Amino acid sequence: MHKLFNMRKKENIKKQISNKDNTKKQISNETDRRTWYRLDLSAIVYPTLQRKDFSSLYRLSALMKEPVDPQLLQQALDMILPRFPTYKAAIRKGLFWRYLEPNNRPGPFVMPDIKNPCMPIPFKSNNRYLIRVYYHGNRIALEAHHSLGDGTGGMCVLQTLLAQYLRLQGHSIGTGGFVLDINEKPDPEELEDAYMRYSNAMTRPPRMAEKAYRVRGTKEPFYTLNIIDGIMSVSRVMKVAKEKYHVTITEYLNSVLLYALLQKQAADRHSKLRPVKIAMPINLRRFFPSKTLRNFITMIYPSIDPRLGDYTFEEITKHVHNYMQFYINEKYLRGDITTNAATQRNPFIRVVPLFIKDLVVRTFYTKVQDKNSSAGLTNMGALQVPDDMKPYLERFDIYMGQPFSNRTNCAIISFEDILTINFASSIKEADVEQYFFCKLIQDGIPVKIESNRS
């Protein structure tokens, strides 16, 4: 009897432990379901513009010095992704707002690369993941939906992935910069909507929205993205920018793109000239301390108005330099953030149903915002990586993805002495790109051209 009593007692204890474990799992699952993130101020717009033939995607890639092992890459991806909860997420639709929730489905799975990158990513495909990881030869590429974060957040994911991949190969790789420690819990600041913290200016600058010159071209078939890469020396570009034109690399390359757009408009022989404008994102982390891995950018619009007369290239560089000095500073940018945040803080707008918000935002973007620029240009600047990673890396590339309308987008990134300028467009003609690279060559900058065009 005594033995039977002890056996039953042990069984009851086991059942209690098992029930506690099940309760803990249930609480954990419920907690995961309750952990959600409202889309940040910029991210609100991107799902609204989603179409069957368009997604707000960008691509970051690294060219390694050795061929990629897909099995190790998948293992590294599985290990690092939990460190980035706003990337290991699915987008959901509520009554008033969209939000991100944890995604514990299998995946994402690494895939062989494709000819036309940044294909649209339906929200319910890919097990609801909004990122893709590709490999080809020596290249590892990350594509991410802008609802998750901007290029800075994406670069943290990519470089942390590269570091873990190299560790699995047996290399000793440290952390720092864009490489995060996957054994650490995410800093709460990495998950914040930093716009709302810094949108506290006393005034809101007005917005000027005159229509800009639009590049005309033959639209490519669905899913076709034309890529043209220009690879050159950072030191050579810096020498030309500083010694010949007395501007920064960013100001110089902005000027070259404006110059190319002016030439294109003149060649088109339009009966009515319009200003040429560049939509250029500014990384606000440079001016407002934040560790956020979500979106934290704002747009400026360097422009030249040919209706005022013909501009020499030297005049363009001076104009761009003065524009950058005026607009790229903490005070103006804080005011710009405050202007953007005003609508989200409006108590009336907060309770407007989501389908009405979508209609208004989509109409405004299509009729006004998209017509406010002739091209897009982003410069991620000089990338820093841990010293023990450098021997295994050749270069980085960045693509702004498929344009919303018929035009070209330009993205710039540099690593060590290699500067890469990546154009992406959905039209057959490459006149703007040709004018752009011809100007660089005229200024004595050798350029190596690569493309996915036949």
Quick: pLDDT tens for 332-351.
999 999 988 887 788 877 88
User: What pLDDT does residue 23 have?
Assistant: 32
Q: In what order do the strands lie in the sheet with 131-136?
A: 111-112, 131-136, 139-145, 57-64, 393-399
User: What pLDDT does residue 349 have?
Assistant: 79
Task: Give 144's strand partners.
Answer: 58, 131
Which distant-in-sequence residues (6+ apart) come within 8 Å of 10 by Cβ? none
Which distant-in-sequence residues (6+ apart) come within 8 Å of 189 by Cβ? 290, 291, 292
Contact 57, 122 (CB under 8 A): no
What percent of the chain is modeled with pLDDT above 70? 92
Task: Give 102's strand partners.
Answer: 89
Residue 10 has pLDDT above 70, yes or no: no
| pLDDT: which is higher, 255 or 21 | 255
Per residue in 186-208, pLDDT (tens digit) is 999 999 999 999 998 887 777 76
Across 159-163, 184-188, 368-372, least confident range = 368-372
Domain ranges of the chain: 37-180, 198-451
User: What pLDDT does residue 339 have?
Assistant: 87
- CA dist 324 and 344 (Å) reads 28
- CA dist 284 and 292 (Å) reads 10
Q: Which range has the top average pLDDT, 162-166, 216-220, 222-226, 424-428?
A: 162-166
How far lies 102's CA from each of 99, 129, 159, 178, 380, in Å? 10, 10, 22, 23, 29
Mean predicted lDDT score pLDDT of the chain? 90
- CA dist 161 and 142 (Å) reads 10
User: What pLDDT does residue 6 have?
Assistant: 44
What percent of the chain is modeled with pLDDT above 90? 76
The fold of the 198-451 domain, in CATH, is Chloramphenicol Acetyltransferase (3.30.559)
- CA dist 160 and 371 (Å) reads 37
Residue 28 has pLDDT above 70, yes or no: no
Domains 37-180 and 198-451 share a fold: yes
| pLDDT: which is higher, 200 or 303 | 303
Burial class of residue 375 (count of CB atoms within 10 Å of its CB; 0-12, 13-18, 19+): buried
Residue 17 has pLDDT above 50, yes or no: no
Structure tokens at 310: 């013909």
Residue 401 has pLDDT above 50, yes or no: yes
| pLDDT: which is higher, 210 or 277 | 277
Q: What is the pTM of this model?
A: 0.90
Burial class of residue 1 (count of CB atoms within 10 Å of its CB; 0-12, 13-18, 19+): exposed
Residue 21 has pLDDT above 70, yes or no: no
User: What pLDDT does residue 89 have?
Assistant: 97
Residue 12 has pLDDT above 70, yes or no: no
Residue 84 has pLDDT above 80, yes or no: yes
Pick 37-180's CATH classification: 2.40.50.1070, 3.30.559.10, 2.60.40.420, 3.30.830.10.
3.30.559.10
